[in-house]
Amino acid sequence: MSSAGSVRGTLAPSYFCRDCNRSVTPIPATQLSCPLCHGGLLEDTTIPVPNPNPHAQLFDFIFRFLQDLDLSNLNPERSHDPLLQFVRDHINGSIAGSGSVEISVLIDGVRIGNEPGTHRALPAAQSAVDALPEIVVSESLVSVGGHEAWCSVCRDEVRAGAIATQMPCGHVYHRDCILPWLALRNSCPVCRRELPATGAVGDGNVGQQIAELDGVIG
């Protein structure tokens, strides 16, 4: 476990990646990009930011600290998680209230090998996808004009008599078009009305945690 180098790195960050929500040192290149996500949304943090995330450096430190630990033995039940308890006990003074939610998500991010910030995309629950009806597209549906006359994913026409998948909001898509999207997100592409998400059942309140995290960071 060597963290000295990485900790030293965090003390003199020169850029803040808005995708990863943390300080980074970009790879020297002609074009600035984040070494983690290769995104270009970098802020020069040597210049004072009007509305910075005050926890960014602390998260960065904790994230690196957690990365160095073997997390495989930790109890997945968060309330009994000794590491989380330790973190809560020791830094509650510097992060008030909802801080522990952010740290939970951070720990999850390390545990499943992802960077924080990638948790926003929740796939639709398989049961909800399986329950989507296949309909025969009627003349009246096509003639309503607007969204229903064509599949918004492939932008091909949906003709009367064709088979299509209908979302609870009424928007229809080719089955092969909507399934790949629902494997990534649980929302209707056109109106964003949501289906139940994977993890919404039987995995605590991940959605709520992310909403809270958004509130804190955003």
44 touches other proteins by CB under 8 A: yes
Smallest gap from Cβ 112 to other proteins, in A, equals 18
Sheet holding 134-136, edge to edge: 134-136, 163-166, 172-173
Among 9, 19, 81, 166, binds other proteins (CB under 8 A): 19
Q: How far is CA 79 from CA 58, 70, 97, in A?
A: 22, 19, 15
| Selected range binding other proteins among 64-72, 73-81, 123-131, 183-191, rule: CB under 8 A | 183-191
Q: Which phi-psi region, left, alpha or beta, contains residue 213 (left: φ > 0; alpha: ψ -120 to 50)?
A: alpha
131 CB-contact burial (10 Å; exposed 0-12 / middle 13-18 / buried 19+) = exposed
Query: Which amino acid, one-letter code, is at 8?
Result: R
Smallest gap from Cβ 49 to other proteins, in A, equals 5
What is the distance between the alpha carbons of residues 18 and 32, in angstroms, rounded to a whole number? 13
Torsion angle (degrees, nearest 10) of CA 31, 34, 35, 36: -150
Torsion angle (degrees, nearest 10) of CA 35, 41, 44, 49: -130
Site string for other proteins, 71-110 (x = CB under 8 A): ----------------------------------------
Among 4, 8, 28, 48, binds other proteins (CB under 8 A): 48
Smallest gap from Cβ 68 to other proteins, in A, equals 29
User: Taking CB under 8 A as the criterion, which residues in 113-132 touch other proteins?
Assistant: 120-121
What is the distance between the alpha carbons of residues 153 and 149, in angstroms, rounded to a whole number? 12
Among 80, 111, 175, 192, binds other proteins (CB under 8 A): 192
From the CB of residue 109, how many other CB atoms can be counted at a distance below 10 Å?
18
51 touches other proteins by CB under 8 A: yes
Among 35, 36, 40, 136, binds other proteins (CB under 8 A): 40
- Choice between 15 and 87, CB closer to other proteins: 15
Residues at the interface with other proteins (CB under 8 A): 18-19, 31-32, 39-44, 47-51, 120-121, 147, 152-156, 177, 180-181, 184-185, 187, 189-190, 192
